[in-house]
Amino acid sequence: MNYLKKLVWALICLFFSLSSFSQEHPSIMLSKQNIGALRKGVQTYALLKKSWKKIKSDADKAILEAIEVPVPKEAGGGKSHEQHKKNYSTMLSCGIAYQISGDQKYAAYVEQMLLKYAAEYEKWPLHPKRKEGHQGGRIFWQSLNDFVWQVYTIQSYDLVHDALSASNRKTIESKLFEPILKFFTVDCAGTFDKIHNHATWDVAAVGMTGYVINKPEYVQMALKGSAKDGKTGYLAQVDQLFSPDGYYTEGPYYQRYALLPFILFAKTINNYQPELKIFQYRDQLLAKAIQTSLQLTYTDGTFFPINDAIKGKTYESSELVYGVDIAYADINASPDLLDIAAKQGEVVVSDAGLKIAKDLSEGRSKPFSYQSQLIKDGASGKEGGLGIFRSGSNEDQQAVVLKAASQGMGHGHFDRLNLLYYDNGVEIFPDYGSARFINIESKKGGDYLPENKTWAKQTIAHNTLTVDQTSNFKANADLAQQTAASVSYFKIDKDLQIFSADENHAYPGVRMNRTTALLKVKELQKPLLIDVFRVNSDKAHQYDLPFWYKGHLVDASPKIKGFTDQLKPLGSKYGYEHIWLNAEQAVPGKSGYLSILNNKRFYTVHFAADAPLSLKLLSLGANDPDLSLLESKAFMLSSTDSKDQLFFSITETHGQTNPVNETTTGASSQVTDLQVTANHPDRASLSFKVKGKTYQYQINYNNKENFIKIN
Contact 117, 109 (CB under 8 A): no
How far is 107 from 109, CA to CA, in rounded Å? 5
CA 195, 199, 205, 206 torsion: positive or negative? Answer: negative
**Quick check: 395 binds its own copies (CB under 8 A)?**
no
Q: Which stretch binds its own copies (CB under 8 A): 30-38, 53-61, 147-155, 555-563?
A: 555-563
How far is 439 from 446, CA to CA, in rounded Å? 4
**Quick check: 86 binds its own copies (CB under 8 A)?**
no
Cα three-residue angle 463-381-683, rounded to 5 degrees: 55
Query: Taking the complex as a whole, how short is the minimal distance between the CB of residue 307 and its own copies, in angstroms?
Result: 16
Restricting to residues 589-618, which ones interact with its own copies according to CB under 8 A?
A: 595, 597, 617
**Which positions from 468 to 507 touch its own copies by CB under 8 A, shown as an x/- string?**
----------------------------------------
Among 171, 361, 481, 664, the residue binding its own copies under the rule CB under 8 A is 664
Query: Taking the complex as a whole, how short is the minimal distance between the CB of residue 442 and its own copies, in angstroms?
Result: 4
Among 165, 659, 705, 706, the residue binding its own copies under the rule CB under 8 A is 659
**Quick check: 446 binds its own copies (CB under 8 A)?**
yes
**Quick check: 567 binds its own copies (CB under 8 A)?**
yes
Closest Cα to residue 155, out of 234, 261, 14?
Answer: 261
**Quick check: 560 binds its own copies (CB under 8 A)?**
yes
Q: Which stretch binds its own copies (CB under 8 A): 29-37, 196-204, 387-395, 442-450?
A: 442-450
Contact 488, 502 (CB under 8 A): yes
**Quick check: 622 binds its own copies (CB under 8 A)?**
yes
**Quick check: 126 binds its own copies (CB under 8 A)?**
no
How far is 445 from 618, CA to CA, in rounded Å? 30
Nearer to its own copies, 126 or 583 (CB): 583
H-helix or E-strand spanning residue 593 = strand 591-598
Q: Is 254 a catalytic residue?
A: yes
Nearer to its own copies, 469 or 481 (CB): 469
| Amino acid (1-letter code) at residue 610 | D
Query: Taking the complex as a whole, how short is the minimal distance between the CB of residue 549 and its own copies, in angstroms?
Result: 12
**Quick check: 561 binds its own copies (CB under 8 A)?**
yes
How far is 463 from 685, CA to CA, in rounded Å? 23
Q: Is 196 a catalytic residue?
A: no
**Quick check: 565 binds its own copies (CB under 8 A)?**
yes
**Quick check: 443 binds its own copies (CB under 8 A)?**
yes
For residue 597, the cross-strand partners are: 552, 602
Contact 385, 245 (CB under 8 A): yes
Half-sphere exposure of 126 (CA within 13 A, CB side): 12
Query: Taking the complex as a whole, how short is the minimal distance between the CB of residue 134 and its own copies, in angstroms?
Result: 18
Among 310, 379, 496, 611, the residue binding its own copies under the rule CB under 8 A is 310
Q: Which stretch binds its own copies (CB under 8 A): 66-74, 277-285, 431-439, 537-545?
A: 431-439
Nearer to its own copies, 468 or 555 (CB): 555
Burial letters 563-587, b for 16+ CB under 10 A, else e: eeeeeeebbeebbbbbbbbbbbbeb
**Quick check: 76 binds its own copies (CB under 8 A)?**
no
Nearer to its own copies, 233 or 430 (CB): 430
- Residue among 411, 462, 578, 654 flagged as catalytic: 411
Q: Which stretch binds its own copies (CB under 8 A): 8-16, 107-115, 646-654, 659-667?
A: 659-667
Among 31, 168, 220, 314, the residue binding its own copies under the rule CB under 8 A is 314
**Quick check: 630 binds its own copies (CB under 8 A)?**
yes
**Residue 257: CB partners within 8 Å, gap ≥ 6?**
197, 319
How far is 307 from 367, CA to CA, in rounded Å? 29
Q: Which stretch binds its own copies (CB under 8 A): 52-60, 433-441, 448-456, 471-479?
A: 433-441
For 417-486, the DSSP string reads TEEEEEETTEEEE-----SB-TT-TTTGGGSB-HHIIIIITSGGGSSS-EETTB-GGGG-HHHHHT---E
Q: Radius of gyration (Cα) for the chain, nearest Å?
A: 28
Contact 172, 157 (CB under 8 A): yes
Contact 656, 674 (CB under 8 A): no
Among 81, 131, 138, 313, the residue binding its own copies under the rule CB under 8 A is 313
Count of CB atoms situated within 10 Å of the CB of 171: 16
- Residue among 117, 218, 254, 370 flagged as catalytic: 254
What does the binding site for its own copies look like in residue numbers (CB under 8 A)? 310-314, 316-318, 437-443, 446, 552-555, 560-562, 564-569, 580, 582-583, 595, 597, 617, 619, 621-627, 630-631, 657, 659-664, 667-668
Provide the annotated active-site residues. 254, 411
